[in-house]
Amino acid sequence: MKAFFEGIQYLFVDILFAPLDFLRSLELVTWFGANTINWIFMIICSVAIVYWIKQLQIFDEAGTENQDTTAHSFLK
């Protein structure tokens, strides 16, 4: 059983986290390069928020949004 858990440790520490170790060592060279994962997630979230707001605006202008407080049965 010990070998099984050591195998899991090897997989995560030495193989799957290798790109993150590279980014950590890259921090001494360039801060922006070391935070590329964060920049990618911020861009994805920004695009999703803009898309969501545009969709809300489309439904609001069309008047198809049900804004009645009794729209759900559990709100009665």
CB 60 within 8 A of CB 66: no
Taking 80 as the threshold, does the pLDDT of residue 75 lie above it?
no
pLDDT single digits (tens) 9-57: 999 999 999 988 898 888 888 988 889 889 999 999 999 999 999 999 9
Task: Note the pTM of the prediction, 2 decimals.
Answer: 0.62
CB 68 within 8 A of CB 76: no
Q: What was the pLDDT predicted at 65?
A: 73
Please state the three-class secondary structure of the chain as a single string. Answer: CHHHHHHHHHHHHHHHCHHHHHHHHHCCCCHHHHCHHHHHHHHHHHHHHHHHHHHHHHHHHHCCCCCCCCCCHHHC
Torsions phi, psi for 17 (to 5 deg): -95, 5
Taking 70 as the threshold, does the pLDDT of residue 71 lie above it?
no
